[in-house]
Amino acid sequence: DAGVIQSPRHEVTEMGQEVTLRCKPISGHDYLFWYRQTMMRGLELLIYFNNNVPIDDSGMPEDRFSAKMPNASFSTLKIQPSEPRDSAVYFCASSPRTGPGQPQHFGDGTRLSIL
Amino acid sequence: SQQGEEDPQALSIQEGENATMNCSYKTSINNLQWYRQNSGRGLVHLILIRSNEREKHSGRLRVTLDTSKKSSSLLITASRAADTASYFCATDDPLTTGFQKLVFGTGTRLLVSP
């Protein structure tokens, strides 16, 4: 079975540019999560969706960040305009609907560098 | 913040030795999970222990949970070079943010030398 697929794997862009990160969750998973990982702050939850609806976006750092999930098989995380401090590895994860304590399945991340 | 803290931050051992990592958290939990992250890859779920469990085994992994001390430990027995990775604990918070939202610890970097 295909796991969570993220694209691109690496992105290098200049400050001020718009960045769009993409995620395809595992088919049949109802929850989708976006995380950011840095050395300083560790792994932080940015936002998560249930059945394509945003449930908790309290981790989104600023209005420059936005996330959408137009259908069950696709989500985007957009940064506009990007800043050097946004440089990090961004992970998408999904989990199935059934019950508490479900493990999350992570993609391999997008390594983002803002120059 | 409920973020778990793990210790040690880094651990270096020889193949065949056992590795023990500890996780402490701050609030009540329903479940605690352990994940592994290989360099340049995403996190992979290893094992889950529920709040009413004290110990759980999976292959060479042994997890303990002490809810009175708000702590957990992950033991990897007979370690192999392939176990080299970072290990994270993750907790939910059923009283505030529900079961699905996890908070990850700071991680332990394990290096297993041949």
Contact A47, A61 (CB under 8 A): no
The residue of chain B with its CA nearest to that of A100 is B99
Contacts of B43 in chain A (CB under 8 A): 43, 91, 93, 104, 106
- Decide: A17 and A113 in contact? Cβ < 8 Å: no
Here the tokens at position B42 are: 């995403």
Closest residue to B101, CB basis, from A43, A45, A103: A45
- Using the predicted structure, report yes or no on whether residue A1 has a pLDDT greater than 80: no
Q: Which of A3-17, A30-44, B1-15 has the lowest mean pLDDT?
A: B1-15
pLDDT tens-place string over residues A61-84: 889 999 999 999 999 999 999 999
Put simply, whether B14 touches A (Cβ < 8 Å) is no
* B84 contacts chain A (CB < 8 A): no
B92 touches chain A (CB under 8 A): yes
Q: Is the pLDDT of residue B1 over 50?
A: no
Contact B107 A42 (CB under 8 A): yes
| Average pLDDT of every residue of chain A | 94
The DSSP symbol for A86 reads G
pLDDT given for residue B102 in this prediction: 87
Residues 6+ apart with CB under 8 A from B2: B25, B26, B27, B91, B93, B103
